Structure 1
Amino acid sequence: MARLLKTGSGWRIGWDSSAPKFKGLVGADEWAVELTEAEFHDFCRLLTQLSQTLQHTAGELMDEEKIACELESSLVWLEAEGYAHAYTLRLMVSSGRKAEGAWAATAVIGLLQAVHTLDVF
């Protein structure tokens, strides 16, 4: 697979194995940032871990109770905020160049599903 781009309402994610440095791409409708292979891998891993953490926590929360949870590596930082079933997502890239982005709660489910279907590693 040389190039892959998946998009949905409020999100996009891509991979270009032939790119010399920035092989990954994440973004929303109004912004996008290219990521190195390591940053992209960390983004996917941390997003999956955040989702699992929120699913496990859902049983401990009342329906109207919100939660904030963050995870980070030396390359990227992610924060989920909202309800266990519907939360916004924020990203900060902290290696080399700096970048920030966010996804609306309505976009996170599609983004998460796309991450689970990627087979780039």
Structure 2
Amino acid sequence: MTYFASGDRWRLGYNPSAQVFCGLVGGDGWAIELTRAEIADFLRLSLQLAATMIDMAAELADQEKITCTLESELILVETSGYADRYGLYFQLQTGRKAEGSWSAVDVPELLGAIADLNQAMQSPQEKA
């Protein structure tokens, strides 16, 4: 199952037949290929942070900003902004040491694609 989605300032892709770098994340003027483990961690951590931001909405005062960070051995992912509109940042922890980010304007659409790809990667067809 090959997957590719893009918006005005974001790209997300996955090609399971690629030898090493089967994932792709990109923004306005940049892109980086990720290993299967890196893209899996990126998807998982991004979705966990999105859920955390929803949960935090009830705890924060109006116009109060928050930064939340999750990381694995391979990647750090961070949200920063208001509970209902925030940017997304990642940093690879090993090997290439790359980083990238998306603005609050782009994150809702990107998170939709992240959820779609995460679900597709979890399907029995992909695991076979």
What TM-score results when the alignment is normalised by the length of structure 1? 0.95
Structure 1 portions without partners, runs of 5+ = none
Once the two structures are aligned, what percentage of the paired residues are identical?
Answer: 48
The corresponding residue for 1:79 is 78
What TM-score results when the alignment is normalised by the length of structure 2? 0.90
| CA distance in 2: counterparts of 1:11 and 1:62, whole angstroms | 30
Asked whether 1:21 is paired with 2:20, we answer yes
The corresponding residue for 1:50 is 49
| CA distance in 2: counterparts of 1:12 and 1:96, whole angstroms | 22
The corresponding residue for 2:121 is 120
| CA distance in 2: counterparts of 1:116 and 1:89, whole angstroms | 14
Q: Kindly indicate whether the alpha-carbon contact (under 8 Å) linking 1:89 and 1:105 is maintained by their aligned counterparts in 2.
A: yes
Q: Kindly indicate whether the alpha-carbon contact (under 8 Å) linking 1:90 and 1:102 is maintained by their aligned counterparts in 2.
A: yes
Which stretch shifts more, 94-103 or 69-78?
A: 94-103
Residues paired across the two proteins, number: 120
Asked whether 1:90 is paired with 2:89, we answer yes
Structure 2 counterpart of 1:53, which letter? Answer: T
Structure 2 portions without partners, runs of 5+ = 123-128
Structure 1 counterpart of 2:23, which letter? Answer: G
Structure 1 counterpart of 2:73, which letter? Answer: S
Q: Kindly indicate whether the alpha-carbon contact (under 8 Å) linking 1:10 and 1:106 is maintained by their aligned counterparts in 2.
A: no
